[in-house]
Amino acid sequence: MSNMGARVARLFRNFNLENRVHREIGKAKPEAAPRHQTHIDPVQSTQVTEISDAIHKRNDPLLGFLKSVYVESKDPTEAPKEVTEEKEERRPLIFSLPGDPYGIVEIIDVPKGKLSIIEALQALNNHKNAPQTWTLDKVALEYSLDLKDTKALLEHFIPFEVKIIPPKMEDAKKIKDI
């Protein structure tokens, strides 16, 4: 069945093919836009040759610098030498969420000078609620932070504050549960 459809399609495709080809060939073709005339000033041609000569000229001071360069390569198939890793100091978490939130592995310690998100929010909230108790120095000491980092943290970050504004009138429209 599909063979019959291919035959019909081929018949229509090849119908009057030669006349269609001659008609396309006989059509007038669009002419290409004329090219701009180019001319090079004699001054420019001398500049071009001078630049070309300067590029290809041997520069002895640069060659001297190039000869003083020493490149040392290593075989990539050799096993690399053991690199001694410096262990960074870590401190235990002061505050963390209970349980295993979001299926993430429980973090038990962080590098000194860094905070977990929960600790950062706790430190910001403590400073906001009691700035006389939680001073810049106390926060830096408590969380093992640099003073300049602690100052930037307390100065530029503010924890969210949720405020619920009651309606002015008691008979205001309220959304009720269904």
- Taking only the tens of pLDDT, the chain with its 178 residues reads 567 788 888 888 888 888 888 888 888 888 888 888 777 666 666 777 888 888 888 888 888 988 888 888 887 777 666 655 567 788 887 766 666 655 566 777 888 889 888 888 889 999 999 999 999 999 999 989 999 999 999 999 888 777 777 767 666 666 777 6
Report the C-alpha gap between 135 and 141 in whole angstroms: 10
What are the angstrom distances between the C-alpha of 174 and each of 163, 164, 166, 170, 178?
Answer: 18, 14, 11, 10, 12
Report the C-alpha gap between 18 and 126 in whole angstroms: 90
* pTM for the full predicted model: 0.42
Cβ 123 vs Cβ 143: under 8 Å = yes
